[in-house]
Amino acid sequence: MKEKSPKNQPASAVTPVAAATAQLASASQPAKTRGRPRKARPYQIDGRSGWWANPTLPDGSRPLRKFESEAKAEQWIAEQLEQAAAGLQPALGGPERATVAQMLFKYAYRCTVLKGGADAELTRINNYLHGGGLPALRLVTDDSDRRKLEQMAPRPRAKNQEGWQQYIDVRRGLRTETYALIHRIGSMTCAKLTTELLGDLATTMESEGLSPSTVQKELALLKAAFNTAIREWRWKGFENPAVGIKLGKSESRFVRVSSDEEQRLVEALNRCDNPQMLPLVELAITTCARKGSLLAMKWSQVSLETREVHVWGKGFNVRHSSHT
């Protein structure tokens, strides 16, 4: 009976890397025997043709596959071990390599896109992305109403009316140190970000007039993103720098409008030059829907027969509102 050998295989079946690997393995290890060896090397089974590969991967799994040649089996084993090793590496290269902006960029695609308050959170995230030199993100929906994120190309500064532009400039001027610190944090590697620096951010935000609720949301974003990296992205040994900071409580923003105030509001809206404002405000008062839900409303969400409108609430719970 003629002995099987890799030399009998076509030249295309053996790549240079696989050939070098097989040659090194043959020189450093004893000759193969039939049966199943303990090491991840190809083997043959009595009474069966071909070569079998059954490596043990780091996660304990043992994929099994049959090949026509020993060289192909050797190459497949090497590929499986390499892919398994790459899969165990920390995402983004770990906290020593990933910047805060890169971490938040990935977090936005992983978590923010699914949140009811995604638009507000993306506004905060985009400030860090700007500091890290990454494109800003915005939430969009496709034709099937599925959410996804879209990268925004840099756009020239919009031309606003003089009075409105002055208001914007004044507001931005009041937050100069806050934005500068956020941009600086966005460009830092995560491993260099300290609890002390995040404490400085909280102090700076409050000193520039931002409410405790706004500061709480800023730090809660960073805390949640780092927790996700530690839990899901294999950032083993990394300590969340936002854990040591005590977060304040969000302020209640519920507004009660009396009948007299509502009447005066309607009278003022009747004098408004924009004819769309009155029905929009009436719809808001009747449904208690958020501004974003009202502005994004489509006719497919409205039923004139039942006098109902279906809008997405926070947490993706469908809310049915009727206008009677």
- At 39 the three-state DSSP class reads coil
Helix (H) or strand (E) holding 321: strand 318-322
Helix (H) or strand (E) holding 164: helix 162-173
Length in residues, the chain: 324
The total of other beta-carbon atoms located within 10 Å of residue 129's CB is 24
**This model's pTM is above 0.75:** no
Alpha-carbon Rg of the chain, whole angstroms?
30
Give the span between the Cα atoms of 49 and 239, in whole angstroms: 53
- At 74 the three-state DSSP class reads helix
Q: How far is CA 320 from the centre of its chain?
A: 30
Domain boundaries, given as residue ranges, for the chain: 6-87, 93-232, 259-322
Q: How high is the pLDDT of residue 3?
A: 44
Task: Give the list of residues 6+ apart from residue 19 with CB closer than 8 angstroms, or none.
Answer: 71
What pLDDT tens digit does each residue of the chain (324 aa) get? 444 444 444 444 444 444 443 443 444 344 443 444 345 789 999 888 999 999 888 777 788 889 999 999 999 898 888 877 776 778 898 999 999 999 999 999 999 999 888 999 999 999 999 999 999 999 998 888 889 999 987 655 555 556 666 666 666 667 889 999 999 999 999 999 999 999 999 999 999 988 898 999 999 999 999 999 999 998 988 999 999 887 666 556 666 778 888 888 888 888 877 788 888 888 888 877 877 788 878 888 888 888 887 776 655 545 555 544
Beta bridge partners of 281: none
The total of other beta-carbon atoms located within 10 Å of residue 215's CB is 20
